Chain A
Amino acid sequence: MGRPTLLALFEVKRFLADRGALAFSIALPIVLFALMVGVFGGDTSFNSTAHVADLDGGEAARELIERIEDVDGLDVRLYTEAGLNDALDRSAVLTGFVIPAGFTGALESGTPAAVRVKRRGNGGDAGQITAAIVQGAADGLASEYELRRALGVLVSEAIPPEQVEAHTGVLLGDARRNPPVRVVTQTLDEQAEEENILDRLLPGVIVMFLLFSVTLNAQTLIEERRNGTLERLLTTQLTTGQLFAGKFLAGVSRGMLQTIVLLVLAFVVLRIAGPAALAQSAVLALVVSAAASAIALVIATAARTEDQATWGAVFITMFMTVFGGTFFPIGDSGVLELLSRFTLNRYAIDAYEGILGETATLGDATFEMALLGGVAVVCLIVARALFRVSSEAK
């Protein structure tokens, strides 16, 4: 194993031993991402189960159950009456529906019929919504039966009942398929409607904290220059070139570690995309980490003091975070779009977003990868030219 690799592994060990750096680089992004998922993410449509005991077993009861099942996000689970009561007693179910015996006959004869709602306490939010849905379905069904019955009475002398029933059925079927009144949901911001916001937030958080770690890396190097460890290393068998390479590899390793932890967590917890996307994201992370590590080296080698390194790194990372479209799309034109071209975030996030959203592959991100790689190479050349273990040492 070469000395630069040994040095990089040692730096990773230092990183893992530094609780502050770990908290900042790994724990904080996880917390931030979790908060963002809580605020922006998740499935906001209604999902519930209607717990139904069908004591009637007739045609109207079956039709009511089918209509409840047809409601988006609502499933039906059937019970016996005793089973439903038991589930309610155990609070396994908070709201249950009982279709009483004689329900179909009552509807057909025009006598009052009722679906009983049994609930514990207020039945819970989902139970109350489900009850309203069941109520609506039952009302619709009752109206249709009433219409059929009334029409049958009115025309029974002139038209055979079967013909009335068939014709009414066709009309009601048309009305269900093309209801005279519809409620249409429109999501404001069509672009946002098409995207899963998490697909952008995750890359945003990953790249933002990777860039924040640039500050830590630059500070660490300056601190080492101040306390003499860099100079001491030059009295060993390590050459200046190996020391520089080791520090670069160390930055890449820390960036990769940080990114992989976040990606794996996102994949395991949020089930974002699949293993292929994870693997491609890891390759992309390598290039992004290389660019970030090289930028940190430029800052550290150009700065003479820790303060200079800190403020230089903070300015660069904040500029890139704000203008790189970290949390929102930048659009195709305007000042923001122009500024974003000078940030790593734009290219890294675009590439991550495509891969994580499974709308693109690594091959589609060739331009972004090449650009990020180019930044890494240029920064490495500049940093190597400026690299000194101390203000005077060779």
Chain B
Amino acid sequence: MARMEDFLAATGLTKSFDSVQVVDSVSFTVRSQEIFGLLGPNGAGKTTTIRMLSTVLDPDDGDVTIGGHLVAKESDAVRKLIGVCPQELALYPELSAIDNLVFFGRMAGLSGSEAKESAADVLERVGLTDRAKDAVRKYSGGMKRRVNIAIALMSRPQLLFLDEPTVGIDPQSRNHIFDTVLALRDEGMTVLYTTHYMEEADRLCDRIAIMDEGRIIALGTPAELKAQVGDADTTTLEEVFLSLTGRSLRD
């Protein structure tokens, strides 16, 4: 049962592909206005979990409630509350950033003028106002990642899913994204954030769930997780992660 301050509540989420169980009875809550980190090695089930939370995939079992709406039955209402930044650069490279943003904004239900206004706002937020009319294919990797995030912000969502938003970009762009995410949280947005980078999770996340082999094996604040392994002041999140998930290589 979700508490009042829980914006998202997942209960017993389960998903299999071709008889391989990818997500196994995952339950957690994300509180309003927190940055919730979902950490795990490759193949842990993070992205599949996000796809179920964001209405793209139907779970085999389990429920998700977002903003008081059951995802399975009220996906239209849920979609009005969420913004999704997938791991892939899901945008149209032959068009400009502004064209991409306005298009996704229109698809999210904004009128033409609202979409243009929102596009200008989010471009400023991600620092791309000057390059707004350039084709995205001409952008650097970091700039493309910022457009990818900007698209998710177009409908001014209450819950933002960020699936590994900093993969393969330079420290400056990564830092810019950190500042953006923290600012969004401070403005009242709830963020669900997946990453491979432990220092990133440590810096950004209010609470963290560590997934492995489709299950949540630990959940708490960074300090609480560190305390499970050693001294909270000297232990790093990477040490916690390796301690919980093991040192064997993952595909």
Contacts and interface: CB of A to CB of B under 8 A. Distances in A.
Nearest to A238: B107
Contacts of B95: 13-14, 17
Interface stretch (B75-83, B164-172, B205-213, B242-250): B75-83
Given A17-B95, A17-B135, A229-B92, A236 B56 contact: no
Contacts of B76: 237
A235 B135 contact: no
B90 A10 contact: no
Nearest to B155: A236
A214 B83 CA distance: 33
B107 A392 contact: no
A392 B109 contact: no
A48 interface: no
Given A10-B103, A17-B94, A227-B90, A236 B57 contact: no
B54 A235 contact: yes
A235 B104 CA distance: 10
Given A18-B94, A237-B109, A232 B79 contact: no
Interface string A207-244: 00000000000000000000111011111111000000
A394 interface: yes
Contacts of B80: 237
Contact of A235 (B79, B88, B94): B79
Interface residues of B, number: 32
A335 B58 CA distance: 50
Between B76, B88, B99, B106, the greatest number of chain A beta carbons within 10 A of the residue's beta carbon is seen for B106
A232 B155 CA distance: 13
Chain B interface mostly:
loop
B126 interface: no
A308 B106 CA distance: 32
Interface string B38-58: 000000000000010011111
Given A17-B95, A231-B56, A392-B57, A237 B79 contact: yes
Contact of B107 (A18, A237, A390, A393): A237
Contacts of B2: none
Nearest to B106: A6
Given A393-B57, A394-B56, A231 B90 contact: yes
Contacts of A237: 76, 79-80, 107-109
A17 B138 CA distance: 13
A160 to B, nearest CB: 93
B107 A6 contact: yes
Contacts of A238: 107
Contact of B56 (A3, A13, A235): A235
B82 A235 contact: yes
Nearest to A232: B90
Nearest to A230: B90
A277 B116 CA distance: 42
Given A13-B95, A237-B79, A392-B17, A7 B58 contact: no
Given A227-B89, A231-B86, A237-B76, A394 B54 contact: no
Given A394-B56, A394-B57, A236 B107 contact: yes
A237 B80 CA distance: 7
A14 to B, nearest CB: 6
B58 A228 contact: no
Contacts of A18: 94
A234 B108 CA distance: 10
Contacts of B92: 14, 229
A208 B92 CA distance: 28
A235 B90 CA distance: 12
Given A227-B90, A228-B86, A392-B17, A236 B55 contact: no
A298 B55 CA distance: 25
Given A235-B83, A392-B17, 13 more contacts: A228-B89, A229-B91, A233-B104, A233-B107, A234-B55, A235-B79, A236-B79, A236-B107, A238-B107, A392-B51, A392-B57, A393-B51, A393-B56
7 contacts: A228-B87, A228-B88, A229-B92, A231-B86, A236-B107, A237-B107, A394-B56
